[in-house]
Amino acid sequence: MEINLISDTITKPSVEMLQYMFNAQVGDDVYKQDPTVIALEARLAGMFGMEAGLFFPSGTMANQTAIKLHTQPGEQLIADKYAHVYHYEGGGVSFNSGVSCCLLDGDRGMITAEQVAGAINDPEFYHSPLTSLVCVENTTNKGGGACYELEELKKIKAVCDANNLKFHLDGARIWNAVVAKKQHPREFGVLFDTISVCLSKGLGAPIGSVLLGDKATIHRALRIRKILGGGMRQVGYLAAAGNFALDNNIAKLIDDHRRAKEIASVLSKLLWIGKIEPVETNILIFSVREGLSENLLIEKLKEKNILISSLGHGKLRIVTHLDYKEVMHTYVLETLQKITL
C-alpha cells in the first residue's frame, strides 16, 4: 500500500463520484450548451455571492486568465514572494500578459495592506511599470497552508480601491481556509474582483477550477480562455465531479487538517527534526536538523511506502488529503517515530 503525501492533487474519484459523473447530462460547452457546466458555474457564483463563473481545466489557466483580464502589457502585479502565480505557472505572467511581478516578503506567503501600499508605483512616474493588480493566495502553498485573516484582506481591498487596482484571489485551497477559519465564501466574494476556485485539490475532483467575477468580466474571460486553448466540449462529465465534491467533501477537510496537525505533533518530539512551520490546514512544512540529510529521510520513508516531497532549500512538505485514510495515518505516525537519521 503506497501512501502518497506529496500533494492533495493526487486524489482519485471515488466510486460514487464516478457514478455521478457517468450519469451527468452534457452538451457542447464551447457553445455554452452543457447544462451541468452551467449549473456548476452558477452554483459557485451563488456560493461566493458573485455574478458569474467560468469553468477551466486548471487553476493555472484560471489565474492566468484573471491576470490577463486585469492588466496590460508592461504593467505590474503585486504578490507575495512565494506566490503560485509567480513560481508555479510556467512564467505565464510574462508570457501571456507581458506583466512583471513586484514580490513582497510576506509572512508564510501572506502579505499585508501596509506592504501593498508601500509597493505601489507612482502612476505619474512613467519610468516604472504601472501597478494594476494585487494577487493573494489563500491558503498559501509554499507558506504551509496558512490562512489570511479577513480583516487584513479587507484592508488590502481598501488599498486597492484607493489606488484603482484590481484584486484577485488564487483560491486553489480556499475551501481549506473556509473550513479552518469557519468563514463563509460570500465574505470573500465581496472583496475580490475575481476568484479562482479549485475543485481538484481538497475536494477530490479529478480536474477543474472555476473563475468567478461579475458578468462583464466573465464574458471577457470566455474569449481569453478560448485563446489559451481552454474551450472544451462535453465537459459536464468533469463538472459533475465538482458538483459531487461540493455536496459531499467539504466537511471532510476537517479530517485532513486534524491529521496534518497530528503528524506535526509527532514530528515535534523527534530528535532529528529541525523546524516545523505552524500548521493551520492540510499542508505541513518542516526541515531536519542542520547536518542531516532531507534526501535520506525521503528515501527512508519511501522504503516504507510513504511518499513526501522536497521544496528545496532544506524544506520538506507533507500534504494530507481525501484519499489519506485513518488506517494510513496510524501507519505514518508509527513509522515516523521509528525513523532514525
Can you give the pLDDT at residue 189? 98
Q: Are residues 238 and 116 in the same domain?
A: yes
State how far the Cα of 75 lies from the Cα of 257, in Å rounded to an integer: 38
Q: Are residues 37 and 126 in the same domain?
A: yes
Q: Are residues 311 and 233 in the same domain?
A: no
Q: Is the pLDDT of residue 323 over 90?
A: yes
End of a domain among 209, 228, 248? 248
Q: How confident is the model at residue 299 (pLDDT cuts 50, 70, 90)?
A: very high
Q: Are residues 158 and 269 in the same domain?
A: no
270-293 confidence digits (pLDDT tens): 999 999 999 999 999 999 999 999
Please report where in the chains the cell 502589457 appears, as a residue.
73
Determine the average pLDDT of the residues in 294-309.
96
HEC assignment per residue over 94-111 = HHHHCCEEEEECCECCEC
Q: Are residues 73 and 201 in the same domain?
A: yes
Q: Is the pLDDT of residue 313 over 90?
A: no
Determine the average pLDDT of the residues in 124-140.
98
Note down the domain range covering 79.
15-248
Rounded to 5°, angle at Cα 242 from 240 and 244: 70
Q: Are residues 74 and 197 in the same domain?
A: yes
Q: What is the CATH number of the domain that holds 241?
A: 3.40.640.10
With pLDDT > 70 as the criterion, what percentage of the chain qualifies? 100
With pLDDT > 90 as the criterion, what percentage of the chain qualifies? 98
End of a domain among 209, 232, 248? 248
Determine the average pLDDT of the residues in 239-267.
98
Q: Are residues 68 and 36 in the same domain?
A: yes
Q: Are residues 239 and 264 in the same domain?
A: no
The CA-atom distances, in angstroms, between 319 and each of 107, 158, 297, 323, 333 are 20, 33, 16, 11, 14
Q: How confident is the model at residue 318 (pLDDT cuts 50, 70, 90)?
A: very high
Q: Collapsing DSSP states into helix, strand and coil, what is residue 252?
A: coil
224-238 confidence digits (pLDDT tens): 999 999 999 999 999
Q: Are residues 204 and 288 in the same domain?
A: no
Q: What is the CATH number of the domain that holds 264?
A: 3.90.1150.10
Calculate the average pLDDT of the chain: 97
Determine the average pLDDT of the residues in 191-218.
97
End of a domain among 226, 248, 270? 248
- Cell of residue 51, nine digits: 455574478
Can you give the pLDDT at residue 72? 98
**Kind of pairing between the strands at 209-213 and 166-171:** unpaired
Going by C-alpha positions, the residue among 178, 181, 172, 99 that lies closest to residue 136 is: 172
Determine the average pLDDT of the residues in 194-198.
98
Can you give the pLDDT at residue 226? 97
How long a stretch of residues is the chain? 341
Q: Are residues 116 and 244 in the same domain?
A: yes
Total number of domains in the chain: 2
State how far the Cα of 144 lies from the Cα of 176, in Å rounded to an integer: 12
Q: Are residues 244 and 256 in the same domain?
A: no
State how far the Cα of 40 lies from the Cα of 246, in Å rounded to an integer: 10
Determine the average pLDDT of the residues in 87-107.
97
Can you give the pLDDT at residue 312? 87
Q: Are residues 102 and 158 in the same domain?
A: yes
State how far the Cα of 138 lies from the Cα of 173, in Å rounded to an integer: 6
State how far the Cα of 289 lies from the Cα of 286, in Å rounded to an integer: 10
The CA-atom distances, in angstroms, between 77 and each of 111, 135, 234 are 13, 7, 35
Determine the average pLDDT of the residues in 115-142.
97
Can you give the pLDDT at residue 243? 98
List strand residue ranges (DSSP E) for 119-182, in order. Answer: 131-137, 166-171
Determine the average pLDDT of the residues in 61-74.
98
Q: Is the pLDDT of residue 1 over 90?
A: no
